[in-house]
Structure 1
Amino acid sequence: MFRKAEKRQAKLRLALCGPSGSGKTYSALLIAQGLAPGGKIALIDTERGSGELYADLTAYDVAPLEPPYTPGRYIEIIKAAESAGYDVLIIDSLSHAWTGDGGVLDMHDKATAASRSGNSFAAWREVTPKHNALVDTIIGVGLHVVVTMRTKTAYDMVDDGKGGKKPIKIGLSPIQRDGMEYEFTTVVDLSVDNHIATATKDRTRLFDGEHFVPTAATGAALRDWLTAGKDPVAESKRTLKALKASATRIASVPELETWWRSHSAEIGLLTPPDRETLTGHCAARKLAILESSAKASAAEASKEPEEAPKRRGNGEDRHAAGIDALKAATL
C-alpha cells in the first residue's frame, strides 16, 4: 500500500493571473521560451488576435478560439496540441471558459432556464462535469501548460512620489471557478505597475517571498526543477514491461483478477497510455484463458465413452460357465 516517496519529473501547470495590461501573454511566451528552448510552443488565442502581437518575440503557433467557449472546445484543442507534439501550450485565456459566450456560466444559465423547476442548483449537476473534464484534461495532458486568467479589477490610491496620490489598477481573484488555483503547480499574480510577479502558490518553492519580472530565465529555472528526479515515462515503460510479463504467466481468470488487485500500486504509477496498454493486455490474456478453457472442455466432451461390457442373460451365463469348466478339464 505504502511506498517510499520519490521526486519524479513532471510537466508544468502554471497560472498567470492579472488584470488587463499586466503582461500575462507576454510573460507566458517568455516563460515558454525558457521551459523548452528550441521546442515547439502553441498558443490558444481567445483574445481575438491579440495572441499574435508578440510574433517577433519567439516562434510559436496559434490556434484562434472563437465563441462559443465551451469546455469541450478547449479540450479538443488541448488534445490536438498534445497529438501534434508541442512542448508547451499556452491557454490565453482560461477565463473565457468560465465567463465567456458559451462558457460554463452561460451553459449554467441556459440549463437553468431549460429546466421545469428553474432550479439553478440542479443545473450545476449538468454543467459541473463538463468543467471538471476540462480541468482533468489540463492536469493530465503530456506537455507543459501555461494558462492566463483575468482577475477582477479594482483600483487603489498610492503615493505618486511627489507628495500626492495616484490610482493604480489591482487584480483581485481570478475569473474562474473558485479554488481553480489549487490545480496548478505554481500560481503567479502580475501587477500592471511594472509587471511585477508574485507567487501566491508555489510547489517548486523557487519564488517564495520573491517579487520579480518574468523572463525566459524564469522558465529555465522551472525546467530545471521539473526535470530533477526520475523520468516517469521511462519508469512507466519499465514497469509496464515487467507487469505484462507477469500477467502473461497467469493461467486462470480468478488468479488474474487477484494479480490486478495486488499490483494496483504499480499500475497507478503507469502513464495513462501505458495503463491503457496494460488493461488491453490483461483483457487479451483473460480472453485467451477463457478460450483455452473452452477448448479443453470441448475436447473432453467429444471423447467417445468406452463401451460397457455386454451383460449376459442367465442362460448365457450358465452356457459360458460350462464351456469354461470344459476347457479347464481338458488342460
Structure 2
Amino acid sequence: MSVIRFTPVSEITEPLNLAIGLSGGSGTGKTYSALLIARGIAEVVTGRKGAPIGFIDTENRRALHYKAAFPEMVHCDMRADDENGDIVGFGPERWIEYIDAAEAAELPVIVIDSFSHSHEGVGGMLDLHATTLDRLAGDDANQRDKRSQLAWAEVKPRFRRLTDRIIRAKTNIIICTRAKPVMQRGYGNSAKNARPTKLRREDVPWDIAGDASLIFEMTTQIILDPAAPGCPVHQIKVADQFKALLDPRRPMGVETGRAMATWAKGQGDAQAQKELLDAARAIARTGKEKFTAHWQSLDKPQRAIVATIMDELQQLAIEADAVQDVDDEDPFASAKPSAEEMAAAEAEARAAADAQAQEDAA
C-alpha cells in the first residue's frame, strides 16, 4: 500500500511547470511568439542564455524558417507517416511518446506546432470518432445518429490520457493550435459571436481547433488576432498573476517567458499583483464612489496593474450601486438595472477612467 503524505508548502521547492496555449489563424504570429516565450522560459529554467528549445513540428518543418533567429532550437519532425511511408497519423498515444522523448532529453521547454493535428488531423480525435462510428454503425444514417455518443465514449478516454500527460509534464510546454473565424451577428463594435459555446466566447470571433478539456487545463490560453500579430488580444484563460504581463496592445516576447518562468519558480511579484487585483474587486463591489476613491489612492504602477481588469471592476461597481438604489419598500423592485441604465453607467465610468488616464499621462 502506498504511503500518502501531506507536505508543508515551505518544503516544496520544485518549480511549477507551465502549459501555455497560443491559438490563431495564419499570419497571427503563433510560431514566432511561441519561440520568443520559450527562449525566456529556457533561460530562467537553466540560468543561461542559449538554452535548448525543443520543437515538435507537424507543419512540414515550417519551424525551420526560424532556425537562423533561434539557433538554440532542437527540432523534431513529426509526420503523419513513418520512415517506411506508412500512415501512422496523429493519435493521442503518439503525442504521449513525443512528450516522453522530450522529457528524456531533459529539454527545459518544448513547443508543439501545430497541436490541431491531434484534433482534426489524420488519426486525430475527429478522425478516430468517424472511423469508430463506421465500425459501430456502418452507412446506416439512423444507427449513426444513435451510436455517435457511443463512439465518443471510446475515443475521448484516449484523449483524456493525453491531456493528463500534458498537464503532468515535467517540462514546460507551449502548444500552438489553429483558429478559424466564426459566424458573427451585428456589425463593427457591436458584433457578437453568433454561436457562443464553452469554447466560443460571445466577444471572441475565433474558434480554436482543439478539445476543450485540454484548453481549460492550460496555465494560460490566448487567441491571437491577424489585426495585431503576436499580441494577446483574446485572453481566454489568464490567471491574475499574468494579467499585467499580457497587454493586448503589445506583442509577447522573451520577457513574457522570463516573467512566467520566474513566477513558476515561486519568485517575482506576481502574487502581489494578484492581491492588488483582489483588493480592487472587493472595493468595486461596494460601489462607484468608494472604488473611485480607491483608484485615486493608487500610484501609477498600481493603476497600470488594476487597469488590466477595468471592465470587470466597472461592471462590479455599477451592479453594486444598482442594488443599493433598490427601493426596499417595493418587493417587486428589480435589483438589476435596465440595459439603458447599464449603458449610461458604463459610458460614465469609461469617461472618468479615460480622463484619469489622460491626467496620469500628463
Partner SS for 1:147: strand
C-alpha separation in 2, matches of 1:141 and 1:178: 19
C-alpha contact 2:54 2:75 (8 A) present in aligned 1? yes
Partner SS for 2:178: strand
2:50 is the alignment partner of 1:25: no
Specify the code of the residue in structure 2 equivalent to 1:133. R
1:184 to 204, 207, 218: 218
Specify the code of the residue in structure 1 equivalent to 2:38. A
C-alpha separation in 1, matches of 2:65 and 2:129: 33
C-alpha separation in 2, matches of 1:80 and 1:204: 33
C-alpha contact 1:46 1:66 (8 A) present in aligned 2? yes
Partner of 2:207: 173
Specify the code of the residue in structure 1 equivalent to 2:75. V
Query: So what's the TM-score if we normalise by structure 1?
Result: 0.61
User: Would the alpha carbon gap of residues 175 and 10 (structure 1) be closer, same or farther in structure 2, given more than 3 Å must change?
Assistant: same
Partner SS for 1:16: strand
- Which residues of 2 match residues 52-67 of structure 1 at below 5 A? 52-58=64-70, 59-67=72-80
Structure number with greater Rg is 1
Could you say which structure has the greater relative contact order, defined with CA pairs below 8 angstroms and 6 or more residues apart? 1
Equivalenced residues, count: 219
Greater Cα shift, 97-106 or 175-184: 175-184
Query: So what's the TM-score if we normalise by structure 2?
Result: 0.56
Partner of 1:194: 228
The offset of 1:179, in angstroms, is 4.4
Specify the code of the residue in structure 1 equivalent to 2:170. G
Partner SS for 1:149: strand
C-alpha contact 2:232 2:252 (8 A) present in aligned 1? yes
- Which residues of 2 match residues 1-331 of structure 1 at below 5 A? 9-37=15-43, 38-58=50-70, 59-67=72-80, 68-116=89-137, 117-118=143-144, 119-154=147-182, 172-195=206-229, 196-198=231-233, 199-203=235-239, 205-208=241-244, 210-211=247-248, 212-228=250-266
The offset of 1:83, in angstroms, is 0.5
C-alpha contact 1:42 1:86 (8 A) present in aligned 2? yes
C-alpha separation in 2, matches of 1:106 and 1:4: 45
Give the alignment's Cα RMSD to 1 decimal. 2.4
Give 4+ residue runs of structure 1 displaced > 3 Å after superposition.
1-8, 154-159
User: Would the alpha carbon gap of residues 124 and 32 (structure 1) be closer, same or farther in structure 2, given more than 3 Å must change?
Assistant: same
Identity %: 31
Partner SS for 2:101: helix
The offset of 1:158, in angstroms, is 6.2
C-alpha separation in 2, matches of 1:3 and 1:97: 36
Partner SS for 1:205: helix
Specify the code of the residue in structure 1 equivalent to 2:209. I
The offset of 1:207, in angstroms, is 2.2
User: Would the alpha carbon gap of residues 83 and 56 (structure 1) be closer, same or farther in structure 2, given more than 3 Å must change?
Assistant: same
C-alpha separation in 2, matches of 1:204 and 1:95: 27
C-alpha contact 2:30 2:176 (8 A) present in aligned 1? yes
User: Would the alpha carbon gap of residues 2 and 11 (structure 1) be closer, same or farther in structure 2, given more than 3 Å must change?
Assistant: closer
C-alpha contact 1:14 1:146 (8 A) present in aligned 2? yes
C-alpha separation in 2, matches of 1:217 and 1:121: 45
Specify the code of the residue in structure 2 equivalent to 1:19. G
Specify the code of the residue in structure 2 equivalent to 1:73. R
C-alpha separation in 2, matches of 1:178 and 1:228: 28
The offset of 1:108, in angstroms, is 0.5
C-alpha contact 2:182 2:207 (8 A) present in aligned 1? no
Partner of 1:254: none
Greater Cα shift, 26-35 or 49-58: 49-58
C-alpha separation in 2, matches of 1:28 and 1:181: 16
C-alpha contact 2:222 2:236 (8 A) present in aligned 1? yes
C-alpha contact 1:151 1:171 (8 A) present in aligned 2? no
